[in-house]
Amino acid sequence: MITLNVNGRSRDIADDPNTPLLYVLRDTLELNGAKFGCGLGQCGACTVVVDGKPIFACITPISILRGRKITTLEGLGTEDAPSPLQRAFIEEQAAQCGYCIPGMIMRAHALLAANQSPSDAQIRAHMSPNLCRCGTHMRILAAITGAAAGMRAAGAAAPAKEEEEKE
């Protein structure tokens, strides 16, 4: 049994310790934000944030995540109350097919948590591991830039963070 902290909640996982986090999120915990893209850590569709850093969930075994804080798209906001970053992606219409967007948002979340005023070059460099086959990169860049500006204007210390839940 491995206990994972997912979106501020401790979850006991009975899956094999070598199981990739993506399968645990989607199949065991029914958190379907992270997507299966390539299964090789090359596209970013499965990106989640672990201890403030973006990781590829498709190649990360759960055995190394014990005691670490995992944040998924579901931990940022809801359909009725999206985080500022999620709202910016919606406003910029950054999604075409939408498959890459959860991973893009999670990678951007990690960036904005560390740097509230990233330059275009910093955003491009940070986002480069995540691919968008539809070519909405310019809208994604605009969404991240807009979210950063909005969060600075609102005085937010960082992107919306989930509250710790106690069992």
At 164 the pLDDT is 41
Here the CATH number for the domain that contains residue 24 is 3.10.20.30
**Domain coverage including residue 140:** 84-154
Q: 93: phi > 0 → left, psi -120 to 50 → alpha, else beta; which?
A: left
At 136 the pLDDT is 87
Reduced to 3 states, what is the DSSP secondary structure of residue 69? strand
State phi, psi for 51 to the nearest 5 degrees.
50, 40
- Would 41 be classed as within a structural domain? yes
127 vs 165, higher pLDDT: 127
At 159 the pLDDT is 52
Residue 119 token pair: 């330059």
- Residue 110 and residue 56 in one domain: no
CA distance 91 to 139: 10
* pLDDT tens column, 53-86: 999 999 999 999 999 999 999 999 999 999 999 9
| Per-chain mean pLDDT for the chain | 91
Single-letter residue type at 55: I
Considering the entire predicted model, what is its pTM? Answer: 0.89
Here the CATH number for the domain that contains residue 116 is 1.10.150.120
Residue 142 token pair: 């605009």
